[in-house]
A and B are shown apart, each in its own frame.
Chain A
Amino acid sequence: MTMHRRALLGAVSALTFACAAPGAAQVRVGNDRILTEQVPAPPTKEYFAYVGSESVDKVSLIRFGPKGATLDHAVDVGIMPTDPDGPHGVAVAPDGKTYVVSTAHGTPFGRLWRFRTGTDEQLGSVVLGNFPATTQVSPDGFYAYVVNFNLHGEMVASDVSVVALDDMVEIARIPTCTMPHGSRLNAAGTKHYSACMMDDIVVEIDTRQLAVSRHYMLTKGKEMGMPGAPPKRGAGAHAGMDMGGHGMEMPKAGDPGCSPTWAQPTPDGAFLYVACNKSSEIVEIDTKAWKVTRRIPAGNGIYNLAISSDGATIVATNKRDQSVSIFDRVSGTERARIKTSRRIVHGAAITSDNRYVFISCEGVGSEPGTVDIIDLVAMRRVASVDVGQQAGGIDTWAGPGGIR
């Protein structure tokens, strides 16, 4: 982070917050409408979330508490003063003392950066692969897992980087599939799952062996679990395949493809949920049997997932619908679909008490990125804060005395 870049980009402003006393209140929705409706009680404590803005090289800290939601501050991330570095993935370490940010762009390789929470002191960076994207810190806090999405160029197999955080060195780069995307570890930290957007598969990494242990074909009618890594496919294998505007375009009629964009295990690790962006479904996989057990209809262009710590609720962002869906995991019922304040809904991060979910919305063009905060009890959006353009990776932080 260069100091002059901290000053380079002007501060972005808080857009709205609607956390007044419970009862009837005016709620500003987006930029244009003001509604009078019942609003839930504001939180009694403060919550925090870090969110990356890919187009303006910023990471913002959102503060949400009794006085509503505000942009606490934003810092610049990256090395290139005149070209975008593209912060994409954001992950707070389980102990809350540090956070990591993947910067996707580069010449051509991106990086992973590590910062101290609160002060944003930079603790190091390491060069990774092509377009490092979704990031998560392992439960023991020792490692970060980063998918190298390799959005650009020929569609060839890419990999998942494993970074030892204390040393900020990459200790493994595990070949997986084409366009590895949304990824998550199980709660034990023994398995890492990533979605392969262009191969229609999900890949499981055994974190003790740092190698792919299994993969699963998600295409409707061709579902199949297989041991080991998927076969390596050359660029020609994807001839004619369309990434669909990165999940923004409707699939062609009759296309059975999934185009998975997120893989989310349950806290107990028994099930894996995969967001099928193309078919707008959630695929449920029994991780022990390694079989599909359900296909749950979801919102249009389902993109990222988050699961509550009790495993009861799944939150899904709907990229083509400008909405967020709240699912009861056990029944598979969509309990609510809530409009977001901006287009191109991206990430979701649930607070540790499972009360709120922070949603990042990219926006289009020069529209600011926005973080919406949804009350998971009231099932409604209760606050929104504008941040830098193309808000993407998001994670919650306990904050100084706050709740993660």
Chain B
Amino acid sequence: MRERFAHRAWCTIALLTALPTAAIAQQPDAVPVKLVVTPATRTLAAGDTMRLHAEARDADGRPVNARIRFQQAGGRFEGVVDTAGLVSAGATGGLTVVVSATAPGARPVIERVELRVVPGPAARAEIDAPRGTLVVGQRVRLAARSFSALGDARDDRLRFTSSAPKVAEVGSDGFLVARAAGSATITATTGSVNATRTITVAAGPIASVELTPNTSEARTGDVIRFKAVAKGPAGAAIAGVMPTWSVSPGNGLIDADGAFVGYDAGEYSVVANFGTRTSEAKVTLTARDVRRPLKVVGRLPRMRFTTEEVWIHPDGKHAYLGSGGGGDVLITMDISNPAKPVITDSLIENTRRVNDVMTTKDGKWMVFTREGASDRKNGFVIASLEDPAHPKKVADFTENMTAGVHSAFIYEQPKFGRHVYATNDGTGALHVVDINDPAHPKEVAIWKTPRADAGRTLHDIDVQDGLLYGSWWNDGLVILDIGNGIKGGSPSNPQFVAQYKYDLNALYKQVELSGGPGFIRGTHTAWRHKNYVFIADEVFPSSGVAGAKDASAGRAYGRLQVLDVSDITHPKPVAWYEPEYGGVHNVWVAGDTLYMGAYNAGFRVFDISGELRGDLRAQQREIGHLNTADMDGYVKNAAMTWGVVVRDGLAYVNDMYNGLWVVKIEPKPAAVP
């Protein structure tokens, strides 16, 4: 990266007269007590370089002999600093440089230099405007943004002008009024960069607007799609025109396509506006009323280690439970009677964490992961399930897996056979391992996100219909074709399909504010369901509340996002769930119900029927909640719900602190007259 920047002649603002490792022998016996670092202005553009200078001085302000060195602090995402003080800014954000002056026997003098890396000069602009035709009298607000050559969004205020103000009059702030039929070119400008958009205005007059449905009755959270048709005096529809939408009261939303969702029960007005003509529809929402009681029908407390992943054998009669916190045991349970899970066996391995476990669809084989093995080989274990109650190990797979495997997913395709898709804890790479011969697993591919190694972490994997959904932490959701065919991918040759990356730091700013910088956050898990992918983040503060005690004082954060993948190459966020308290860890979807381990917020169940839009919590889509804290546990009286597997109407919920819970969602209680 440094070489790339070095060749950007336009971006170099370095002062090349530097003495990079200054050793100024003016006061050789004096002790350095302070550093003077220049330049004082420490803002540079992404892609630029800057030379920092430093001079060590004694208590009287005189230069002294000292070893001066520059070192980048913290993450390695925003640039590179060499030991002589040359800063190469890679991306926008903050960059901290530590300048040290050291001398034998003297306390080091440290100066932290905070550099602000801003986007480069504006290189292009975009206008966000309605894609349809406007009609005379219609008013819309245009938006425009500018970007640097590297694609970084700038905060310029672009000025709008119209080539034909008598057709489309626009204020400098982008407020546009359609005045007369015709076309106008709208231009948004910042400096020498501009963007244009042609706006077409239809003559009208619009005699009427037909808004359908005119009245609606639905529940909170139901998506109602409105359609507004503008008609001329003769009653004919005017093609191509589109309204601006509004909804009142505000506790709901409607998008540019007319999809409305309301959060609270009550009356709503939806208005389609064509300037001189509007039409209003009434919506009556009743409460979603999906809340149901939960019942704990079975329980298997675990106290020796933390409890990790749970998995149900395809026969529905056996289940498996991982262990962590030094745990080297995979537990096998008989769940024929869910009210009384019984341990039938345990498989002890050279590991200190069995984080993930999964069986093949035919129930003949199992894979479970290892982290913390004493020989540091880790990898995963393949076991035979000829007797599901007594797994027998048949092979280890450890090649290139020294760091450990956090998650593994078994997926079978008629064309390619059976493979394990595993995460590499150390490199953040996806490893694909052929297990068609379970006793002789063979690595067939390694795939990494195309970026610098620093900060790459792959946390979880879901595969459906030949598409792999990788939760790649800092890189968001990455979708790969591993046999679907959309991009010609296969297990041995995964092909990139799409990525959905978002600003985790901005999303969880509150966590940094409450717990300090350096907090844990990343895209943690993904689940494909219908035309949606649910992704959940793992978020913890960098420190607990000062003075607090016990496990129950800690908390997780997080957001579940719903991505519409109707166009798989362009995942689009459409809905979200963010708990008021607690996190969003692993999810399971069965039918129209989403089950979630919410860490310290316990076990939660949601109604995800129908189309999903907006804030799912506000829509009262939560069906049930269970706090899984227990005095019988590895950690007492605190919940840390990990995840859930659903089988035969029962939720098998694993709590990291205290073991297994078997939970039933009870029918809706009968109304009491």
Contacts and interface: CB of A to CB of B under 8 A. Distances in A.
Given A4-B550, A107-B522, A388 B326 contact: yes
A245 B377 contact: yes
Nearest to B427: A153
A54 B376 CA distance: 12
What bracket does the count of chain B residues touching chain A fall in? 35 or more
A61 to B, nearest CB: 19
Contact of B110 (A8, A108, A171, A343): A171
A237 interface: no
Interface string A5-16: 111111000000
A362 interface: yes
A246 interface: yes
A319 B599 CA distance: 39
A228 to B, nearest CB: 16
A8 B100 contact: no
B83 interface: yes
A243 interface: yes
B374 to A, nearest CB: 5
Nearest to A127: B74
B426 A56 contact: no
B158 interface: no
B250 interface: no
A84 interface: yes
Contact of B425 (A152, A208, A390): A152
What bracket does the count of chain A residues touching chain B fall in? 35 or more
Given A152-B402, A171-B71, A172-B100, A366 B374 contact: no
A88 to B, nearest CB: 12
B188 interface: no
Contacts of A152: 402-403, 424-427
Contact of B305 (A107, A131, A366): A366
Interface string A102-115: 00010111000000
Interface string B423-457: 01111110000000000000000000000011111
B551 interface: yes
Contact of A171 (B98, B350, B351, B551): B98
B551 A8 contact: yes
A25 B144 CA distance: 86
Given A3-B550, A55-B352, A172-B71, A82 B102 contact: no
Nearest to A210: B69
Contacts of A170: 71, 73, 98
A142 B352 CA distance: 35
B403 A164 contact: no
B105 A3 contact: no
A389 B100 CA distance: 38
A172 B69 contact: yes
A243 to B, nearest CB: 7
Contacts of B453: 108, 153
B551 A84 contact: no
B544 A4 contact: yes
Interface stretch (B288-296, B560-568, B615-623, B634-642): B634-642
B71 A54 contact: no
Contacts of B110: 164, 166-167, 169, 171
A363 B375 CA distance: 11
B428 A79 contact: no
B108 A142 contact: yes
Contacts of B375: 245-246, 248-249
A270 to B, nearest CB: 20
B403 A10 contact: no
B518 A127 contact: yes
Contacts of B73: 126-127, 169-170
B371 interface: yes
Given A10-B634, A172-B83, A210-B69, A389 B326 contact: yes
B374 A390 contact: yes
B179 to A, nearest CB: 56
A154 B427 contact: yes
B374 A362 contact: yes
B71 A4 contact: no
A33 B528 CA distance: 56
A353 interface: no
Given A4-B551, A7-B551, A9-B325, A344 B638 contact: no
Nearest to A82: B656
Interface string A149-171: 00111100000000010110111
A356 interface: no
A154 B265 CA distance: 57
B98 A245 contact: no
- Which residue, of B83, B100, B457, has the highest number of chain A Cβ atoms within 10 A? B100
Interface string A70-112: 0000000001111110100000000000000000010111000
A365 interface: yes
B11 to A, nearest CB: 25
A7 B376 contact: no
Interface of B: 67, 69, 71, 73-75, 83, 98, 100, 102, 104-105, 107-108, 110, 112, 304-305, 324-329, 348-353, 371-372, 374-377, 402-403, 406, 424-429, 453-457, 473, 518, 520, 522, 538, 540, 542-545, 548-554, 556, 599, 634-635, 638, 640, 656-657
Closest 3 CB pairs of A and B: A152-B426, A152-B403, A365-B328
15 contacts: A4-B548, A7-B635, A84-B353, A86-B372, A105-B425, A126-B73, A127-B518, A153-B429, A166-B107, A169-B98, A169-B112, A171-B102, A171-B110, A363-B374, A366-B305
